[in-house]
């Protein structure tokens, strides 16, 4: 990270249980996020277009942009900072708690990286809550049990296909 000017973190929050009706409802999220990293909010702007609520906040050498889609229970967040010491993980954790999201996907990009080309690929990180992991596992078990049931129900088809592959 020595050769970078800053970092840009892109975060997708899925299945958010927090409800928003106006773009201004996002202001407390941004203010709490900047408070966590001791950065004062110097400017804030709101947009409400169709089903998208947007809040853009600027602080010194960083900004946070929140795009909320209430009908989809989805929120996209951009955190951009020229201060490489900014604790974006703290902001991400606070937003996850406040949005009550059960799944997030984060991509971190080094901005102004004058290092090797290999370093230019974004690093991705996903976190899934226990409830989502259980749901995914249940779906896999169900899919496997259906396959096993069909094999037990029609053993002749399995034996015939096994013989044809061995010839």
Structural contact between residues 82 and 62, judged by C-beta atoms closer than 8 angstroms: yes
Tally of CA atoms within 13 A in the half-sphere of 129 that contains its CB: 14
| pLDDT score recorded for residue 7 | 84
pLDDT above 70: residue 162: no
pLDDT above 50: residue 1: no
> 165 Cβ partners below 8 Å, 6+ apart?
none
The predicted model gives 55-71 an average pLDDT of 89
Backbone angles phi, psi at 158, to 5 degrees: -70, -45
| pLDDT score recorded for residue 157 | 63
Provide the pLDDT confidence category of residue 84 given band limits of 50, 70 and 90: low
Provide the pLDDT confidence category of residue 90 given band limits of 50, 70 and 90: confident
- What is the pTM for the complete model shown? 0.65
DSSP state of 33: H
pLDDT tens column, 118-159: 555 666 666 667 777 777 787 888 888 777 777 777 766 655
Structural contact between residues 36 and 97, judged by C-beta atoms closer than 8 angstroms: no
Q: Is 33 left (phi over 0), alpha (psi -120 to 50) or beta?
A: alpha
Please state the separation of Cα 79 from the chain's center in Å.
Answer: 12
Question: CA angle, 79 as apex, 58 and 129 as ends, to 5°?
Answer: 135
pLDDT above 80: residue 112: no
């Amino acid at each position: 990270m020595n050769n970078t000017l800053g970092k840009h973190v892109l975060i997708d929050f899925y299945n958010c249980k927090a409800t928003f009706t106006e773009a201004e409802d996002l202001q407390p999220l941004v203010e709490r996020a900047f408070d966590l990293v001791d950065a004062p909010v110097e400017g804030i702007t709101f947009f409400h277009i169709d089903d998208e609520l947007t809040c853009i906040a600027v602080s010194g050498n960083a900004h946070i942009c929140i795009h909320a889609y209430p009908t989809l229970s989805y929120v996209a967040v951009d955190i951009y900072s020229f201060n490489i010491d900014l604790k974006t993980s703290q902001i991400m954790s606070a937003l996850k708690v406040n949005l009550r999201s059960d799944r997030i996907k984060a991509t971190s990009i080094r901005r102004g990286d004058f290092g090797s080309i290999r370093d230019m690929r974004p690093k991705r990180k996903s976190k899934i809550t226990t409830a989502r992991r259980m749901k995914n596992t249940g779906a896999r078990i169900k899919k496997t049990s259906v396959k096993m049931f069909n094999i037990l129900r029609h053993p002749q088809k399995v034996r015939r296909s096994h013989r044809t592959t061995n010839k």
